[in-house]
């Protein structure tokens, strides 16, 4: 059984990493990163089957793709704290000559990253390709992917969603971070997307909703259920209902912190709400 | 002067199809993806031989590029097939981020390039694709001239680790390069020796350059014809060696001169050995409906245009 308290402590530490990383360079995307901290911690510690070390081909292990690459702070923090690269390297986020580019890339050889992302809407197709590759290799491990909800406004997603159902890509669990916010405002105000559950189902996917996307037990339970839905001829979509900016009160429930760094004072408030657990980088 | 014989006109896309068929037998990691143009791209035989390694993605080229990028993870060597227009401009950002910047081993195979696509008209006749693709860091750009060379190039790019853009065409054109030739990426092929003018040509213009050199010889002009099949990386050395001897150059391509082979050659010359250059290329224009021969004539992409450019450039020496 997973130790929920340990995962919670790790999540708190990841939130501190996110705040400190974006504060240091006065740029980056804390809102979506904070909202997905629990998900990433669960994914890398409990949900995915991973081998030690990093190999691009990911044979005989589960593979994750981040499509909404702007939430790189949470990705980098969790990768580092899962042993993919030294935690100290978080100090180099967005700096010149760093492997931790503003948006994730394979170009600088950062272990753990298998595709560049940032220009939105491309990750679903890539995940499907990796899923097809696994099927050809008779590798029964799964492909996981994460997408922003606003990102679904990009048309390529719907090409991919149609393909995945039409071709029985049932070794893929695509999670949508349903926080209802994007840069210019709420998703409903910018471009209403209607009922995403109905849309995915209409395209032939199995859809599972996680109502408490910032609750570790709910995530673990939901993703365990999602795994049982794989291998049945249909791709699986998880609608993960999160709060953008979760864990830092003044950043929550607003799009304002999508892509803005806290100042010195705001950093102190945010850190005070997330007391150091396993140690700052 | 060395002469070349057309052993029977064939389309370059069939050379691609033949190469892909052979690759299917040789290399089990080769997979093929197509966006609803399997017949046009001559991918039918691969599809029939290896249904498990053929992926029909429908009319969804952006998705095709992303899937191809993803399939490299796990060791596959994806060959995507659609028209040149839909292989480049339509999916530029997908290629840029998911393939080129991500360093993925995808082979983007593009048929129906240029005006020789013919009657379908300008919506389908891309004349900007070489420029688009050569600007992407790490992208290899190849434009083949006949059936045999296209088949050889298809085999060769499977052995090259990295993204490749392979450009070929629709119409039947003379097949004159050797069968089962060795295709060396980035290596120019000298077709004739000459002393008065260098003619470097790519794609369908290579045969036209050979035809031009014969007519020029009749009027006492000795042309050195070089086939540049790889536009990037460009064989700078071959170009410079030839121009050092002839003192002037004509570049010939079925592409806009903005962004094409000619501009790449101009860069090499201006940096190393400035010399007069004339461009046989389209002049910042879209194409239109017509037969391939009519279009090549109207847009100045044939032997006559090359002869004229050769005389002009020699006069500028």
From B129's Cα to the closest Cα of chain A, the distance in A is: 21
B205: left (phi over 0), alpha (psi -120 to 50) or beta: alpha
From A9's Cα to the closest Cα of chain B, the distance in A is: 33
Q: Average pLDDT for residues A173-201, to the nearest whole number?
A: 97
**Residue B254 designated active-site:** no
Question: Which ipTM score applies to this complex?
Answer: 0.97
pLDDT band at B5 (very low <50, low <70, confident <90, very high): very high
Top residue of A55, A59, A106, A125 to mutate, by most chain B CBs within 10 Å, is A125
CATH architecture of A4-272: 3-Layer(aba) Sandwich (3.40)
Q: Average pLDDT for residues A63-74, to the nearest whole number?
A: 98
Mean confidence (pLDDT) of chain A: 97
SS (H, E, C) chain A: CCCHHHHHHHHHHHHHHHHHHHHHHCCCCHHHHHHCHHHHHHHHHHHCCCCCCCCCCCCCCCEEEECCHHHHHHHHHHHHHCCCCCHHHHHHCCCCCCCCCCCCCCCCCCCCCCCCCCCCCCHHHHHHHHHHHHHHCCCCCCEEEEEECHHHHCCHHHHHHHHHHHCCCCCEEEEEEECCEECCEEHHHHCCCCCHHHHHHHCCCEEEEECCCCCHHHHHHHHHHHHHCCCCCCCEEEEEECCCCCCCHHHCCCCCCCCCCCCHHHHHHHHHCCCCCCCCC
Sequence-separated (6 or more) residues with CB below 8 Å from residue B112 = B13, B40, B83, B84, B85, B120, B124, B125, B169, B170
pLDDT in tens, B239-250: 999 999 999 999
Give the domains, in start order, of chain B with CATH numbers: 10-173 (3.40.50.970), 189-315 (3.40.50.920)
Predicted pLDDT of residue A121: 98
From A131's Cα to the closest Cα of chain B, the distance in A is: 8
In angstroms, the CA A211 to CA B137 distance is 44
Q: Do A162 and B58 touch (CB under 8 A)?
A: yes
Cross-chain CB nearest to B67 (options A57, A129, A155): A129
pLDDT in tens, A76-124: 999 999 999 999 999 999 999 999 999 999 999 999 999 999 999 999 9
With 80 as the cut, is the pLDDT of residue B110 above it?
yes
Which one from B22, B61, B208, B263 is the annotated catalytic residue?
B61
**Measured between beta carbons, which residues in chain A are less than 8 angstroms from residue B104?**
115
Cross-chain CB nearest to B98 (options A107, A116, A132): A116
pLDDT band at B201 (very low <50, low <70, confident <90, very high): very high
Mean confidence (pLDDT) of chain B: 98
Q: Which two tokens stand for residue B48?
A: 């029939």
With 90 as the cut, is the pLDDT of residue B37 above it?
yes
**Measured between beta carbons, which residues in chain A are less than 8 angstroms from residue B95?**
none
Strand partners, B30: B77
Q: Do B70 and A130 touch (CB under 8 A)?
A: yes
Predicted pLDDT of residue A2: 83
Beta strand B10-11 with B30-34 is unpaired
CA distances from A261 to A99, A102, A249 (A): 20, 13, 15
Residues of chain B above pLDDT 90, percent: 100
B259: left (phi over 0), alpha (psi -120 to 50) or beta: left
Q: Do A106 and B103 touch (CB under 8 A)?
A: yes
Q: Do A162 and B76 touch (CB under 8 A)?
A: no
pLDDT band at A218 (very low <50, low <70, confident <90, very high): very high
* Nearest residue in chain A measured CA to CA from B68: A129
pLDDT in tens, B265-313: 999 999 999 999 999 999 999 999 999 999 999 999 999 999 999 999 9
In angstroms, the CA A254 to CA B168 distance is 51
With 80 as the cut, is the pLDDT of residue A1 above it?
no
**Measured between beta carbons, which residues in chain B are less than 8 angstroms from residue A172?**
none
pLDDT in tens, B41-91: 999 999 999 999 999 999 999 999 999 999 999 999 999 999 999 999 999
Sequence-separated (6 or more) residues with CB below 8 Å from residue A134 = A63, A140, A141, A143, A171, B74
Q: Do B69 and A115 touch (CB under 8 A)?
A: yes
Q: What is chain A's alpha carbon radius of gyration, rounded to the nearest angstrom?
A: 18
With 90 as the cut, is the pLDDT of residue B1 above it?
no
pLDDT in tens, B153-200: 999 999 999 999 999 999 999 999 999 999 999 999 999 999 999 999
**Closest listed residue to residue B213, CA positions, set B202, B222, B226, B201:** B222
Predicted pLDDT of residue B6: 98
Q: Do A134 and B74 touch (CB under 8 A)?
A: yes
| Count of A-B CB contacts under 8 Å | 118
């Amino acid at each position: 059984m997973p130790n929920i308290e340990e995962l919670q402590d790790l999540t708190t530490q990841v939130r501190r990493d996110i705040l400190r990383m974006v504060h240091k360079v006065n740029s980056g995307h804390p809102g979506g990163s904070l909202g997905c901290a629990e998900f990433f911690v669960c994914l890398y510690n409990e949900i995915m089957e991973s081998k030690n070390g990093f190999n691009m081909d990911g044979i005989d292990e589960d593979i994750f793709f981040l499509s909404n690459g702007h939430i790189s702070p949470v990705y980098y923090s969790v990768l580092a704290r899962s042993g993919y690269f030294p935690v100290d390297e978080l100090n180099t986020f967005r700096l010149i000559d760093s492997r931790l580019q503003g948006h994730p890339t394979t170009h600088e050889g950062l272990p753990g990253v298998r595709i560049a992302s940032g220009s939105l809407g491309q990750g679903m197709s890539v995940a499907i390709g990796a899923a097809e590759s696994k099927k050809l290799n008779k590798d029964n491990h799964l492909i996981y992917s994460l997408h922003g909800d606003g990102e679904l406004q990009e048309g390529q997603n719907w090409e991919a969603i149609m393909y995945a159902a039409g071709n029985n890509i049932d070794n893929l669990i695509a999670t949508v971070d349903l926080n209802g916010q994007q840069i210019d405002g709420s998703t409903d105000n910018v471009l209403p997307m209607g009922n995403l559950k109905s849309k995915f189902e209409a395209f032939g996917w199995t859809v599972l909703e996680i109502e408490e996307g910032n609750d570790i037990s709910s995530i673990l339970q939901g993703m365990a259920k999602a795994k049982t839905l794989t291998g049945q001829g249909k791709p699986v979509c998880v609608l993960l209902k999160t709060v953008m900016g979760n864990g830092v009160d003044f950043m929550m429930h607003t799009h304002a912190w999508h892509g803005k760094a806290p100042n010195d004072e705001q950093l102190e408030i945010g850190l005070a709400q997330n007391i150091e657990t396993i140690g700052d980088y | 002067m060395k002469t070349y014989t057309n052993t029977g006109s064939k389309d370059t896309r069939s050379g691609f199809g033949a190469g892909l068929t052979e690759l299917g037998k040789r290399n089990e990691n080769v997979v093929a993806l197509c966006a609803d143009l399997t017949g046009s791209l001559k991918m039918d035989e691969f599809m029939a031989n290896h249904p498990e390694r053929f992926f029909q993605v429908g009319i969804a080229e952006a998705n095709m590029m992303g899937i191809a990028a993803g399939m490299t993870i796990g060791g596959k060597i994806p060959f995507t097939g659609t028209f040149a227009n839909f292989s480049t401009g339509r999916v530029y950002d997908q290629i840029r981020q998911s393939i080129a910047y991500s360093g993925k081993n995808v082979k983007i195979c593009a048929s129906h390039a240029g005006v020789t696509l013919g009657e379908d008209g300008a919506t389908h006749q891309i004349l900007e694709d070489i420029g688009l693709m050569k600007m992407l860091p790490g992208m290899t750009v190849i434009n083949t001239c006949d059936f045999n060379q296209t088949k050889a190039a298809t085999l060769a790019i499977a052995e090259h680790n990295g993204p490749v853009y392979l450009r070929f065409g629709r119409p039947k054109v003379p097949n004159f390069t050797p069968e089962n030739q060795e295709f060396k990426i980035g290596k120019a092929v000298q077709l004739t020796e000459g002393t008065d003018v260098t003619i470097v040509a790519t794609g369908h213009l290579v045969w036209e350059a050979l035809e031009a050199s014969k007519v020029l010889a009749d009027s006492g002009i000795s042309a050195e014809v070089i086939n540049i099949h790889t536009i990037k990386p460009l064989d700078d050395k071959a170009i410079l060696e030839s121009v050092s001897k002839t003192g002037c150059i004509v570049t010939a391509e079925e592409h806009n001169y903005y962004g094409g082979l000619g501009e790449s050659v101009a860069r090499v010359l201006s940096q190393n050995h400035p010399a007069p250059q004339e461009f046989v290329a389209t002049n910042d224009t879209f194409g239109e409906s017509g037969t391939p021969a009519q279009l090549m004539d109207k847009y100045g992409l044939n032997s006559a245009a090359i002869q004229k450019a050769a005389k002009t450039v020699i006069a500028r020496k």
